[in-house]
Amino acid sequence: DAMVIQNPRYQVTQFGKPVTLSCSQTLNHNVMYWYQQKSSQAPKLLFHYYDKDFNNEADTPDNFQSRRPNTSFCFLDIRSPGLGDAAMYLCATSRGGVNEAFFGQGTRLTVV
Amino acid sequence: AQTVTQSQPEMSVQEAETVTLSCTYDTSESNYYLFWYKQPPSRQMILVIRQEAYKQQNATENRFSVNFQKAAKSFSLKISDSQLGDTAMYFCAFMTYLNNNDMRFGAGTRLTVKP
C-alpha cells in the first residue's frame, strides 16, 4: 500500500549527539513536511519542501536541518539535540495546494 | 496571524451516543480549507473530514459531520453513534489558498469513548 514510512519508530540519542530521522513516501507527493509534536500539544510545523524548494518556519531553531535528496525521501537532522528536543516527530506528505496531508507513524525521540 | 483554537482538552462519551468537538479559527483570508484529523493511540494521524470554506453545505462522512459557521469562524465535529475505535486525539486544522503548503493545527481534544 502507498504510504508514508518513518524510521525508526523510537530513537534514543545522547545530549549533543547528532541524530537523523528519516521519512520515505510511495505516494509521489510534491510536498513533504516535518512536524514536532510534544505531549498533549498541537503538531508544530518545522519546515516543508515543495519538490526541492525548502521552506523553513521562522521560529524553527538552527539546530534543525532537513534534506530531501529525491522525491521519495526526506531527512530531519538535529545537530546537537537538547533535552527540550525530546518529542514525537511527524513526517507528512501532500500533493500540494489545498490538499490533505498524509502522515507517517512518527518517530519518538528521547534525549538522555 | 492564523490561529486554530480547540477549547476542550478532553471529552468523553458513552458508546453509541453523539459527541461534538469544538474548533474556532482566526484568519483574514476568505478562501481556505478546514480539516479534522484523528490521531489514535498508535499515533498515525489520519484525515476524518474536510470542508472547503466556499461551500455552504456541511461536509459529512458516514458518522462524522461538521457544523461550519463561516461568519462565526467555527468548525465543530459531530460524531454520531460513537464507537470504541473513535477513542483518539482529534485535531482541527486549517490551510489557506494563499499559504497552501502550510497546515496549522489546534492543540487537540482527547476523546474517550466509554463502553
d(C-alpha B29, C-alpha A107), whole Å? 34
Is the Cβ of A60 closer than 8 Å to some Cβ of chain B?
A: no
pLDDT above 80 (res A49)? yes
pLDDT in the model for residue A2: 61
Q: What is the pLDDT of residues B33-82, one digit of tens each?
A: 999 999 998 768 999 999 998 888 899 999 999 999 999 999 999 999 99
DSSP tally for chain B: helices H, then strands E: 0, 12
Q: Do residues A18 and A109 touch, judged by C-beta distance below 8 A?
A: no
Closest listed residue to residue A34, CA positions, set A46, A42, A25: A46
Considering CB atoms only, which of A41, A88, A92 is closest to B43?
A88
CA–CA–CA angle A89, A92, A94 (5° rounding): 165
pLDDT in the model for residue B103: 85
Kindly indicate the confidence band of residue A1, based on its pLDDT and cuts at 50, 70 and 90.
Answer: low
Among A23, A100, A102, A109, the residue to mutate for chain B (most B Cβ within 10 A): A100
Q: How far is CA B74 from CA B51, B53, B66, B71, B94, in A?
A: 12, 11, 10, 8, 12
Q: Answer yes or no: do A31 and B101 touch at CB < 8 A.
A: yes
Higher model confidence: residue B90 or residue A99?
B90
**Residue B41: which region, alpha, beta or left (left: phi > 0; alpha: psi -120 to 50)?**
alpha
Share of chain B above pLDDT 70, in %: 95
pLDDT in the model for residue B56: 83
Locate cell 489520519: which residue? B46
Is the Cβ of A31 closer than 8 Å to some Cβ of chain B?
A: yes
- Classified as helix, coil or strand, B17 is coil
Q: Do residues A13 and A82 touch, judged by C-beta distance below 8 A?
A: no
Instruction: List chain B residues with CB under 8 Å of A97.
Output: 100-101
